[in-house]
Homo-oligomer: A and B are copies of this chain.
Amino acid sequence: MKKIINNPDRALQEMVEGIAAAYPNEVKQLPETTVIVRKDAPVSNKVGIVSGGGSGHEPAHAGYIGKGMLDAAVSGEVFTSPTPDQVLEAIKAVDSGKGVFLVIKNYTGDVINFDMAAELAEAEGIEVEKVVVNDDVAVEDSSFTTGRRGIAGTVFVHKIAGAIAEQGGSLQEVKAVAEKVVENVRSMGMALTSCIVPAAGKPSFQLEDNEMEIGIGIHGEPGIERKEMATAHEIAKELTEKVLNDRDFSESDVAVMVNGLGATPEMELYIVNKSVQEILKEKGIKVYKTFVGEYMTSLEMAGCSVSLLKLDDEIKSLLNAESSAPAFRI
C-alpha cells in the first residue's frame, strides 16, 4: 500500500484538520470532533442541513459545506459511519431553532448512527427531520432487505435541500423537497479497480486486467456483477440503461452527473459523458444541466457512476440557486 498519509489511525483526524485549514474563512472544525461546520453556524432563522458518513468519499461531504448547501458534515473512519455523539455535535452546532435536517445515505450503519443522534437531539429539544437517499439501482429496492444504497445522487439532495433551506424554507418544506429529489434520482456505478482502506492496507477485492465490476457501491465493496472489460460507450450504455429502466424519465428534463470514483482520469469521464448524452438524446430525454467530475468517491478506486435526476420547475430553480460550497460552486 502506498498512500500519502502519516498513520492510518490518524488519517481521518488529520484530513479533517486539513480541510479546516484550507478554508478558515468558510468553515470551522468543532473542537475534538471530526465535524466541520459553516463558519457562521448556526445561521439564524435557517434550517440546518447535516450530512456525513464514512470518510473516503471526498469531496463528500465537507466539500459541500457552504452557503446554499450543507451546514455541517460529519466524517467517520474510512467507509465507516460516524458515531451518534459526533452527529449530535453537528446537529447542535447548526441548529438555529428552526430545526435540523439530516441527509443520510441508505447504509445500515449510517441510518442507525444518524437515527440515534436524532433521538438524542430531540431529547435535547431540537427538532430533527431526515431523508434517506437510496439512488443506486444496482441493488434491488425492497422493504424486506437493507434496500438500495445511497451513492452519487446524494449530492443532488445536498444541493437542493441546502438551497431551499437557504431560501428560508421550513423543516417540513426542506423534507418535502428532499424527498422529491430522492424519488427522482437514480444512479449506477462501475469500477475497474478496487481501493485500499488505509487501515486494511490491501485492496478490498481483486480484478483482473480484463475485468470490471458493474453495480459497484462507494465503499470498496465488490459490485453486483463481474464482467469482461468493455468500451466506454458500452459502459455508458449499460449504466444509463439500468438507470432508465428503473424509473420513467421519458419526456423529462434531467440533470446528469457523471461521477469519477477517485482514480479515473477526467478524460475518461468526458468520454463517458459523450455517450450518455447521445443515449439520452436518442430517447428524447432533455438534459438541462450536466456535472462531470469527482463528487462522491471511493478513495483511489477507478471507475465511474452515472446519475439522472428528473427535474420540475421547483427543482430546477433550486439546482440553479447560488452555492458557495468549494466542491459545488454555482
Which residues of A line the B interface, CB within 8 A?
1-7, 11, 14-19, 21-23, 55-56, 58-59, 63, 78, 192-193, 195, 209, 212, 229, 231-233, 235, 258, 262-274, 277, 290-294, 297, 299-300, 302-304, 326-327, 329-330
Q: Are A56 and B231 in contact (CB under 8 A)?
A: no
Among B11, B292, B297, the residue within 8 A (CB) of A18 is B292
Q: Which residues of chain B come closer than 8 Å to A290, judged between CB atoms?
A: 21-23
Assembly CA distance A263 to B196 (angstroms): 12
Residues of B within 8 A of A258 (CB): 22
CB distance from A306 to the nearest CB of B (A): 12
Q: Are B5 and A297 in contact (CB under 8 A)?
A: no
Please provide the 3 A-B residue pairs with the shortest distance between their CB atoms, ordered closest to farther.
A18-B270, A58-B266, A263-B263
Distance in Å from the Cβ of A22 to the closest Cβ of chain B?
A: 4
Closest to A288 in B: B25
- B6 engages A271 (CB within 8 Å): yes
Instruction: Given A270-B58, A273-B21, answer yes or no on A300-B229 (Cβ-Cβ < 8 Å).
Output: no
Q: Please report the C-alpha to C-alpha distance between residue A231 and residue B6 in the assembled complex, in whole angstroms.
A: 5
Are A267 and B299 in contact, with the CB atoms below 8 A? yes
Which residue on B lies nearest to A22, using beta carbons?
A: B290
Chain B residues closer than 8 Å to A6, beta-carbon distance? 231-233, 271
Is B265 a contact of A300 with CB atoms below 8 Å? yes
Could you list 19 A-B pairs, sorted by A, with CB under 8 Å? A2-B209, A3-B265, A5-B232, A5-B271, A6-B271, A11-B271, A18-B273, A19-B273, A21-B274, A21-B277, A21-B290, A22-B290, A22-B291, A58-B267, A58-B270, A263-B263, A265-B299, A293-B327, A329-B329
- Chain B residues, CB < 8 A from A1: 209
B266 in contact with A265 (CB, 8 Å): no
Across the interface, A212 reaches (CB within 8 A) one of B2, B7, B16, B55, namely B2
Q: How far is the CB of A69 from chain B (nearest CB, A)?
A: 13
Given contacts A2-B209, A6-B232, A229-B2, contact A14 B263 (CB under 8 A): no
Given the complex of chains A and B, what is the CA–CA distance between A303 and B3 in angstroms?
9
Assess the A193–B2 pair: CB atoms within 8 A: yes
Contact partners of A229 in chain B: CB under 8 A = 2
CB-contact partner of A263 in B7, B16, B21, B300, under 8 A: B300
